[in-house]
Amino acid sequence: MSEMNIKDALGLVVRHISLSTVEMASVMRDIMTGQCSDAQIAAFLIALRMKSESLDEIEGAAQVMRELAAPVDISGLDNVVDIVGTGGDGANLFNVSSASTFVIAAAGAHVAKHGNRSVSSKSGSADLLESAGIQLDLNPQQVERCIREVGVGFMFAVNHHSAMKHAIGVRRDIAQRTIFNILGPLTNPAGVTRLVLGVFSSELCRPLAEVLKRLGAEHVMVVHAKDGLDEISLATATEVAELKDGDIQEYLLTPEDVGIKSQSLVGLDVADSEASLALIRDALGKRETDAGNKAADMIALNAGAALYVAGVVSSLKHGVALAEDTIHGGQALEKMGELATFSQGLTSSQGAE
């Protein structure tokens, strides 16, 4: 069976019967093209959550979101990577993944960063970048220029997934974690095949590595820290499912494994995007506070993983060492300023036309 409407799908899912990839894609296409009522969408999302989403269902939904996204062309570029989290860890740390992008780009990779405004944290990636003066209202061609010319471009989800408008009100009204929390990081509009993906539950590590393999990913680390973070933690071991050369390996990673001392996360939580930006500027700049030094180590851990996955270095340990050198040399902070200036130039020239 291929075509399936949401009513029939709901009848199966409430009985804990999973849909095939093709069936899920059919339902998802109806949702994303405005064919379903809010009540149907809400019921379907909650029923899926209660059953627990299968790999086939996640794959089918991701295929449709990718198909309907406004794409960013990264053809011909080497070492393109995304570093992204599902969010929802409730830790309210400074924005580690966004800070890491500037280190990654300054160290020689290209970052096609997919993100959104804050869902559960005090500072989502979009909020943080706006505070840094980086323009977010860019079209796909302008984002492509950022990636090609600066080494890092930010894809604001609302600008690339306009079909999401059919589900956004429902998601806000039910205020529960749904399959969409998982789909965001799987649907990068640039179609990157290399990424570090942080997840809110260790139970998602292997399944999402499997889904990414099916979707054509080359090298991926799906991570969840023992302290609950949806990124590699400075304070404790992190569970990893790594997809490389078609195989998935699972292991525990500690900071000491890659030459960094474990430290508590005290001082790394922030009240808002402005506080997050101040901490990041300290970490990437002169590191004048204990928190700034800690934040620099946390950024190096995560940026190092992305440099490894991007293929810039041959091992995780080398990636972290390169990230540390890039932070301490000041190039990452320069890269943040470069993206702000470049993106502002794009929007001002657009306004002048």
> How far is 334 from 351, CA to CA, in rounded Å?
26
Q: Do 62 and 145 fall within a single domain?
A: no
Tell me: is residue 100 an annotated ligand-binding position. no
C-alpha dihedral sign at 200, 206, 212, 214: negative
> How far is 200 from 77, CA to CA, in rounded Å?
31
Tell me: is residue 125 an annotated ligand-binding position. yes
> How far is 125 from 113, CA to CA, in rounded Å?
9
Q: Do 30 and 111 fall within a single domain?
A: no
Q: What is the pLDDT of residue 255?
A: 99
The answer to whether residue 297 sits within a structural domain is: yes
DSSP string, 89-147: ----B--HHHHHHHHHHHTT-EEEEEE-S-SSSSS-HHHHHHHTT------HHHHHHII
The answer to whether residue 167 sits within a structural domain is: no
Q: What is the pLDDT of residue 160?
A: 64
Tell me: is residue 121 an annotated ligand-binding position. yes
Tell me: is residue 165 an annotated ligand-binding position. no
Tell me: is residue 171 an annotated ligand-binding position. yes
The answer to whether residue 27 sits within a structural domain is: yes
The answer to whether residue 348 sits within a structural domain is: no
Tell me: is residue 349 an annotated ligand-binding position. no
Residue type, 260: I
CATH of residue 331's domain is 3.40.1030.10
Tell me: is residue 230 an annotated ligand-binding position. yes
pTM of the entire predicted model: 0.93
Structural contact between residues 94 and 193, judged by C-beta atoms closer than 8 angstroms: no
Final residue belonging to a domain, choices 46, 68, 90 = 68
Tell me: is residue 293 an annotated ligand-binding position. no
Q: What is the pLDDT of residue 352?
A: 45
Tell me: is residue 151 an annotated ligand-binding position. no
Domains held by the chain: number: 2
Residue 290 phi, psi dihedral angles, 5° rounding: -60, -40
Tell me: is residue 315 an annotated ligand-binding position. no
Q: DSSP assignment, residue 84?
A: E
Structural contact between residues 156 and 136, judged by C-beta atoms closer than 8 angstroms: yes
Tell me: is residue 261 an annotated ligand-binding position. no
Tell me: is residue 199 an annotated ligand-binding position. no
Q: Do 256 and 187 fall within a single domain?
A: yes
Tell me: is residue 117 an annotated ligand-binding position. yes
Residue 261: which domain range? 80-161+180-339
The answer to whether residue 349 sits within a structural domain is: no
> How far is 332 from 281, CA to CA, in rounded Å?
10
- pLDDT tens per residue, the chain (353 residues)? 468 999 999 999 999 999 999 999 999 999 999 999 999 999 999 999 999 999 999 999 999 999 998 899 999 999 999 999 887 666 789 999 999 999 999 999 999 998 766 544 455 677 888 889 999 889 999 999 999 999 999 988 776 666 577 677 787 778 888 898 888 889 899 999 999 999 999 999 999 999 999 999 999 999 999 999 999 999 999 999 999 999 999 999 999 999 999 999 999 999 988 999 999 999 999 999 999 999 999 999 999 999 999 999 999 999 999 999 999 999 999 999 999 999 999 987 654 44
Q: Do 88 and 27 fall within a single domain?
A: no
Q: Do 127 and 241 fall within a single domain?
A: yes
Tell me: is residue 159 an annotated ligand-binding position. no
The answer to whether residue 130 sits within a structural domain is: yes
Tell me: is residue 231 an annotated ligand-binding position. yes
> How far is 101 from 91, CA to CA, in rounded Å?
20
Tell me: is residue 145 an annotated ligand-binding position. no
